[in-house]
């Protein structure tokens, strides 16, 4: 059984149909091109994610700080109005 197997040596050769060779080259080239495009898109998405994460602090936190400042101003205004109402009520009670 092992006697019928071809032996590989320096003089061994291979024959392939030119159509098949062209198809194999096109297939391998397409696979490489597809891989490079996918790799590029993945790299672009990673870079965009990194920039979004770094910009997140610049966009979100200033807005929160502005809102916190406005809330504090409203609380101070509310306390001032309460004190003004108490003074007005005291003046009304004194005049009765």
pLDDT higher than 60, residue 2:
no
Per-residue model confidence (pLDDT) at position 39: 97
Question: Tell me, what's the pLDDT at 57?
Answer: 62
Confidence band for 77, pLDDT divided at 50, 70 and 90: very high
* C-alpha distance across the termini of the chain, in Å: 126
> Which pTM was predicted?
0.45
């Amino acid at each position: 059984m092992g006697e019928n197997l071809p032996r590989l040596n320096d003089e061994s050769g291979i024959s392939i149909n030119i159509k098949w060779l062209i198809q194999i080259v096109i297939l391998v080239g397409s696979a490489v091109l597809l891989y490079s495009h996918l790799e590029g898109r993945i790299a672009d998405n990673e870079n965009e994610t990194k920039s979004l994460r770094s910009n997140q602090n610049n966009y979100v936190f200033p807005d929160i700080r502005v809102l916190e400042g406005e809330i504090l101003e409203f609380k101070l205004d509310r306390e001032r109005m309460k004190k003004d109402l108490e003074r007005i009520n005291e003046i009304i009670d004194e005049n009765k």
